[in-house]
Structure 1
Amino acid sequence: MLASRWRLRSFRLSVEAGAPAATALGCQSSQSGCAVLQRAINQSKGRVPDQNRGSQRGFTLVELMITITVAAVLLMIAFPSFKLMNNISRLTTPANELVATMQVARIEAVRRNARTVVCRSDNADAGAAASCVTTAGNWTGWIAFVDNGDDGTGTIVAANARNGVRDAGETLIRATTVNAPVLVTPSAAIAAESNRIVFRADGMSHAAANNAPLSGIVSVCLADTTPAENAREVTLSAGSRVSIHRFAGGGACATPPDSR
């Protein structure tokens, strides 16, 4: 009896001193059942550590607020740059397309030995039905076509040839539409030609009134101060030379002059 009480007292003193309960009972670490015994004792005392506790930890409110603040600051920094690049694209894409349309129309006039026309069109995306608009106003699109009177079957209708109007069957070379808020405005010289630029078989464009080489500007503009150069001016010089220039309109879109 005394021996049993002595063993129990020794066990309690060992545990209180920090020794593992299994060791206090005489279990050696080399024995296969030692770890199992120690774990069972720990479970009975609620000492088993939660191994998944770290993986279940989420964001604190402070961490979440810091993340939101940083994201807001980055958005404020990036938005002006995004608007600038977007507006530049809105300007350069139609301006470059107009330059390409004029150049192709001029080349086709020489190649086909026939007149070609670049004109304002409000239904440029209508395919075979696309037509010219001769009245004044901003352009919502344009087309280029061969003005030779071909009815589409190879037969030339004399009344339709060289009349500056796209008649049924005449070959459509190129067609472009422009979306708001981009404004496309011709100068007075081009507007006076019924919003048409006619290239003759020699690749030259002439004014109908005096037969002088046509010079004028078509402005592609955004009524915005971003970018500061808010217009791209497509310039026709001396009846044949086509170029493009940037222009700062102070956020306004005015009718361009015939030359700068």
Structure 2
Amino acid sequence: MGDLYALDFDGVICDSCGESSVSAVKAAKVRWPALFNGVDSALENWVVDQMHVVRPVVETGYENLLLVRLLLEMRIPSIRKSSVAEGLTVEGILEKWSALKPVIMEEWGEERDPLVNLFGKVRDEWMDQDLNTWIGANRLYPGVSDALRFASSTIYIVTTKQSRFADALLRELAGVTIPPERIFGLGSGPKVEVLKMLQKKPEHQGLKLHFVEDRLATLKNVIKEPELDGWSLYLGDWGYNTEEERDEASRISRIQILQLSDFSTKLK
């Protein structure tokens, strides 16, 4: 009896926060150029630093753009268009992001799909113009590339990242090629639906099923689906989550808190 591992990408395999933050600033300059009038390099660096702090709230990449703009509006009253920015703190973003996001999108007149497309386009252009720098802004977590390379388990990637970026990083940073039909990226549908589909495949019957994720909210969505009761669920404690989320997860019997060294051992 073998094992099947469905792995999230950002926050489980790859620390992409440096790249996604810089890409978000680049994309925000394209989308809202006037916001950056008078923004000096020190303020821009502050935004990128804060993006590392608020990264646990991001479910899909385009949200990084919203966070860049919100952080700027928190610091510069003269450009403020959102009712929530005044008095808002980074801690407030971590606590209330799901409620803040629809408010700011409406107040800024933004829609999801154009932001998704812009974020992907900016990344594509960066890759085309300077692949080495783009790759270098990402890093794999220690031990993960060897674990993937020598894994005896069946591996799938289930991510909200666009598949082409996950594929490029696996090849360039890990020296690993995962067949495209095993990478479920943005546009593949909710992760719970991907897991349902994977467990139904004839070739997966009899395999032990494991799902490794760094977002507690995603694991809680899986728990709500009785059809997915057969999956072992893991929260990676090295990923983009907070101490409060790890504490909450430790009280949920279905979820195992996983450390990076244990994760690499499991895959091998």
TM-score bracket relative to the smaller structure: under 0.3
Bigger strand fraction: 1
Bigger helix fraction: 2
**Structure-1-length-normalised TM-score:** 0.24
**Structure-2-length-normalised TM-score:** 0.23
Relative contact order higher in (CA < 8 Å, ≥ 6 apart): 2
